[in-house]
Amino acid sequence: MFFYGKMASDGIAVSSLLARHYPERMSAGAIARKRSMTITLCSRILGILSRAGWITGLPGPGGGYALSRSPEAIRLLDIVQCFEDPRMPDVCPFGPGWCGNREPCPLHDSVVSLHENAIRFLEETKLDSFAEIPHHSHLQPDSHLPLDPA
């Protein structure tokens, strides 16, 4: 269970692919195909990450998208924060507004601990975790696809 939504998850998917191919550039179309998302969604995510300064884009032949810095310099938290603030969850199983407004629910301490661990994971995990591909074919979902920077 993670405390971030689909857009943040897709942002990590796009960023992790760029980390695996760093410093090479990839087209939005190639990224969308390799991450099984629409070009519209992929372009939206690339725009958000570009405005935040985590990726750069160049138009035209030889262009495409790449990380703006090395994968070991970018935390998962940096990417997630482009889409939402994971530090401010409303994760009480009793529903919004319960914990903090009333006596804490019976699961409060466990949920808070789980959330703190998830934030720590996002803070400590860098995109370079995705840069090395394990040498097991079942762990290489896009190994059969060409880089296709165009």
pLDDT level of residue 143 (50, 70, 90 thresholds): very low
Q: How many Cβ atoms are within 10 Å of 49's Cβ, its own excluded?
A: 25
For 6-134, the fitting CATH number among 3.40.190.10, 1.10.10.10, 1.10.150.110, 2.60.40.10 is 1.10.10.10
Condensed to tens digits (0 to 9), the pLDDT of residues 4-39 reads 899 999 999 999 999 999 999 999 999 999 999 999
Q: Which has the closest alpha carbon to 130: 144, 114, 141, 119?
A: 141
Q: What is the reported pLDDT for 109? A: 85
**Closest to 34 in 3D by CA, of 16, 48, 57, 50:** 16
Q: CB neighbours (10 Å) of residue 77?
A: 18
User: What local confidence, expressed as pLDDT, does residue 150 receive?
Assistant: 41
Amino acid 1: pLDDT: 46
The string of pLDDT tens digits covering residues 61-117 is 889 999 999 999 999 999 999 999 887 656 677 777 777 777 888 888 888 888 889
Residue 138: pLDDT band by 50, 70, 90 thresholds? very low
